[in-house]
Structures are given as structure tokens and as C-alpha cells.
Amino acid sequence: MIAEIIISALILIGVSFCFVGSLGLVKLRDFYMRVHVPTKATTLGIGSILIASTVYFSILRGAPAVHEILIVFFLFMTAPVSAHMLMKAGLHERLPDINGEVEEKLPRAPQ
């Protein structure tokens, strides 16, 4: 009974985060804001749903569900890297921000 409540709560939290992420992806006007939403809200939503799946199948089988744990691990490791690469590509292509301003000169790392 307690496990079902935990699983249901995790699924509801995950669906809520995914909905907010999807809504933000549609409503936000700027490329940089649109990249931010899926990497934060949607990643937490999918992670919560996968954790609920892990709990369910661990209880059902009586052994930990390794597949879901690995998916959560790789999701949390790759989402920030992909968002960083998309941001760098946006800066390289000189996409304007919400104010219409373009970064004139990107700072370089000291050598």
C-alpha cells in the first residue's frame, strides 16, 4: 500500500514536471530559454517517472531494476552536456537573445 502511494506520487511529480517543461518549450520566446526548460524540468520529470518504474519493478521482481537506474544515470549525465553544447552552438551562430541583442565578442579563456 505504501509502495503504491510512493509510485503514484513519483508519477504525478514526473508528469507535472514534464507538462511544465513542455509548456515552457512552447511559450518561451528565446532560443536560450527554450534550451533551459527541457534540461531542467523535463529531465526531472522523466527521472521521476523512471524512479517510479524502478520502485515498481523492484517490488514486482524482488530484485533491483538495474536498467531503469542506468537510464536515470545516463539521462542526468548527458542532459547538461547536451544543453551546454546547444548553448555554445547558439552563441557561435550569434543567435539573438530575448532583447534582440547579440553577444559581440565572446570572452576567451586565458592561455
- How crowded is the C-beta side of 24, counted as CA atoms within 13 Å? 18
* pLDDT exceeds 70 at position 106: no
Element (H, E) at 72: helix 66-92
* pLDDT exceeds 90 at position 9: yes
Which residue is listed with cell 519493478? Answer: 57
Q: Which residue has the higher pLDDT, 111 or 73?
A: 73
Task: Supply the range of the domain harboring residue 44.
Answer: 2-92
Q: How many CB atoms sit inside 10 A of residue 4's CB?
A: 11
Q: Which residue has the higher pLDDT, 21 or 108?
A: 21
Q: What is the distance between the terminal CA atoms of the chain, rounded to a whole angstrom? A: 60
| pLDDT one-digit tens code per residue, 28-83 | 888 888 888 878 888 899 999 999 999 998 998 888 888 888 998 998 899 889 88
Q: Domains in the chain: how many in total?
A: 1
**Residue 103 domain-assigned?**
no
**Residue 83 domain-assigned?**
yes
CA distance 108 to 111: 9
pTM assigned to the model: 0.77
**Residue 39 domain-assigned?**
yes
What residues have CB less than 8 Å from 108, skipping those under 6 apart?
A: none
Whole-number pLDDT of residue 108: 63
**Residue 102 domain-assigned?**
no
